[in-house]
Structure 1
């Protein structure tokens, strides 16, 4: 006989199923095109289940992002916990490729960022989550070499470049799937070349940002 769930256990189960349903639909058809009613129906509930567990559609989307981020970070903790410097370089390459270059998640995050332009609360929440991911990528870079000694600011600059390049590759792969081939190996080579230039990284990033910005008319 199946154990009867407590009220809190049943609520947690319902919430988890709704998040799973929302994740699937957001990745398949996008955030804007997915209604809370569709999420509830896919999970096998009435739409009231969504509204009783999440105060808004944006709150549900943030829970989707949080669950995904936790999975990514758990993979990070497991993958980079042990090994020699050479092992960690290869593991970092595999981890960042799998974690940061997924086209579906890149598109979802961009869509949410566009929504957040007119929603300051959502913008702050997304910014906090981006910082968490950046912190962990910076930590991974610091572990690439036991003898690596870089100022914290330089490590974060490199982490920001890695994240930005990973997201860019994910978007490029929509048009050209071959663009992802061996990109992490090339990225790590570039990172290693940049290490001696670490004091110049802020200037290089600022210059690349200026070039990418649209001209003001």
Structure 2
């Protein structure tokens, strides 16, 4: 049975998706300012014109990658704070653990570059502000699922606090501070939702606090699914 031809909209969406995947890797490896749109298009299997047919430019493409990352992070309503994962467990993925970690850190650094650029541009600042609102709403969903009924703070307040702690810990880590590791971050997020002593373990001691472990797991999965290395061909 013959497969129905893809519609123009489906083809355009597939092109956009491929460009976003390629851009995520390029921004992570080369930074926001260092990434080249022609190279991104070529890595995705298109000409540079495909970028401008789907995005207004580099900033618009970067915002699309942020949108994709937020969607991955808070899919299916988020996660349960305190979940602990072996981020790169299992077979072939384990050998790529360090590379994926570097890509996660690299994109976080590129995001800092973009935020500094957007802060000086009214349109980009407004667009970035919209994403920050969506980000906090994602943490609010997590808070609503995990908060104590006796907590005097509302889910939106707890969500903002979770966002501040998780994103702030990542900023400290990127700045070279080891004051908060993955264990301390996990316990801190749980204390926001359930004040008082929480069950402790040594899991995550010394690991960079680059986002809650469950969130890093999701980012790692998205990167592994879309990134195969600069010299590897992409499937079409």
Task: Say whether the fold is shared (TM-score over 0.5).
Answer: yes
Structure 2 counterpart of 1:159 = 159
The 3 A distance-change label for structure 1 pair 177 and 17 is: farther
Structure 1 counterpart of 2:115 = 113
Structure 1 unaligned blocks of 5 or more: 80-90, 195-217
Structure 2 counterpart of 1:13 = 14
**Distance in structure 1 (CA, Å) of the matches to 2:56 and 2:123:** 13
SS at match of 1:94: coil
State the aligned residue count: 176
**Distance in structure 1 (CA, Å) of the matches to 2:191 and 2:6:** 53
- Farther off after superposition, 140-149 or 28-37: 140-149
**Distance in structure 1 (CA, Å) of the matches to 2:72 and 2:171:** 21
* CA drift at 1:61: 0.9
Contact 2:28-2:108 at 8 Å conserved across structures:
no
SS at match of 1:93: coil
- Farther off after superposition, 105-114 or 174-183: 174-183
Contact 1:103-1:170 at 8 Å conserved across structures:
no
1:135 to 2:142 alignment: no
The 3 A distance-change label for structure 1 pair 6 and 107 is: same
Q: Which aligned pairs between 1:37-76 and structure 2 lie closer than 5 A?
A: 37-74=38-75
Structure 2 counterpart of 1:124 = 126
The 3 A distance-change label for structure 1 pair 73 and 181 is: closer
* CA drift at 1:38: 1.4
Contact 2:28-2:110 at 8 Å conserved across structures:
yes
Contact 2:28-2:106 at 8 Å conserved across structures:
yes
Structure 1 counterpart of 2:81 = 92
**Distance in structure 2 (CA, Å) of the matches to 1:105 and 1:183:** 23
More helix by share: 1
Compute the RMSD of aligned alpha carbons. 2.8
SS at match of 2:35: coil
**Distance in structure 2 (CA, Å) of the matches to 1:181 and 1:11:** 40
Give the TM-score taking structure 2 as reference length: 0.64
Structure 2 unaligned blocks of 5 or more: 88-100, 197-236
**Distance in structure 2 (CA, Å) of the matches to 1:94 and 1:4:** 43
Give the TM-score taking structure 1 as reference length: 0.69
Structure 2 counterpart of 1:180 = 181
Q: Which has the higher contact order (CA 8 A, sep 6+)?
A: 2
* CA drift at 1:148: 3.3
Contact 1:103-1:173 at 8 Å conserved across structures:
no
SS at match of 1:31: helix
* CA drift at 1:151: 4.3
